[in-house]
Amino acid sequence: MSEPVVEVQGITKFFKSFKAVDNVSFEVCPSEILGIVGPNGAGKTTIIHMLLGLTTPNAGSIKIFGLNFNDHREEILEEVNFSSTYTSMPYSLTVRESLKVFGWLYNVKNSDDKIDELLKVFEIADTKKMQVRNLSTGQLTRLNLAKALINDPKVLFLDEPTASLDPDIADKVRKYLLQIKREKKISILLTSHNMKEMEEVSDRIIFLHKGKIIASGKPEAVVQSFRGKNLEDVFLKVAREKQA
């Protein structure tokens, strides 16, 4: 088995006295999609933020491409990208201008060609000259995804990337993620509340609850270990049992 591209060892995060992430360890291998699932407040987004250097863990270590994040931030971030349903792009810029800015930030050669390619893939080529403020939520989500692929990242962090997409576009995005994973050997760390989606695209999943990993492995193995019908069934069981 090849060396993992992301190695997380015992990360813990407190927000005041609240333990958002509790001694979490996992790895992401090359060309692997790792899904993180769990109820709201389980710590999924906090983990992604720590992996991107937006939040500092209280304990534990993060290595990406075998490099310590704190010592090699720029080097790592050049090869990584991120998309979240909770972020947007500069409202007054056009779609093309927005992506052009990120082309510069990631030092993308021939960014115009890359932008055209990505807009075509996500079926928003017709919005190229539109201001971001005039995009629909679905178009904006796809623009975020296009931004996340502008630098041909080796590792992609996606926080609920299909949350606001209609079933047709969401399906296309999932297929595209599987395709780039296969063809470009991208490793993807993905969070979603769509359990069907997680089962479909994830090679492995980790199940988080109250900041702790309560199960991990292949989706079918996790489902079996909880004696559930599917991941959604497991999710409901876990969320409701723990609430009770």
Diameter of the chain by CA atoms? 55
Which span sits near another protein by CB under 8 A: 47-55, 111-119, 193-201, 233-241? 47-55
- Our CA angle for 168, 180, 64, nearest 5°, is 125
61 belongs to the binding site for another protein (CB under 8 A):
no
Is residue 155 helix, strand or coil? strand
Q: How far is residue 74 CA from its own chain's centroid?
A: 19
For residues 104-143, which are near another protein according to CB under 8 A? 105-107, 132
Q: Which stretch binds another protein (CB under 8 A): 4-12, 103-111, 177-185, 200-208?
A: 103-111
Contact range with another protein by CB under 8 A, out of 87-95, 167-175, 192-200, 220-228: 87-95
Considering only the stretches 41-49, 170-178, 181-189, 195-203, report the one whose residues sit in contact with another protein under the rule CB under 8 A: 41-49
**Site residues (CB under 8 A) for another protein, limited to 12-31:** 13, 15, 20
What are the strands, taking DSSP E only, across the chain? Answer: 6-15, 18-28, 33-37, 59-64, 67-68, 80-84, 155-159, 187-191, 204-209, 212-217
CB of 138 to another protein, least distance (A): 16
Nearer to another protein, 188 or 205 (CB): 188
Q: Pick the closer one to another protein by CB: 87 or 110.
A: 87
Alpha carbon 154 to chain centroid, angstroms: 13
Using rule CB under 8 A, residue 84 touches another protein:
yes
Smallest gap, in angstroms, from Cβ of residue 150 to another protein? 10
Report 140-199 residues binding another protein (CB under 8 A).
Answer: 144, 147
Coil vs helix vs strand at 44 = helix
Exposure letters 201-223 (e unless 16+ CB within 10 A, then b): bbbbbbbbbbbebbbbeebeebb
Distance between CA atoms of residues 190 and 202, nearest Å: 8
Nearest approach, Cβ of residue 59 and another protein (Å): 12
Per rule CB under 8 A, count of chain residues that contact another protein: 34
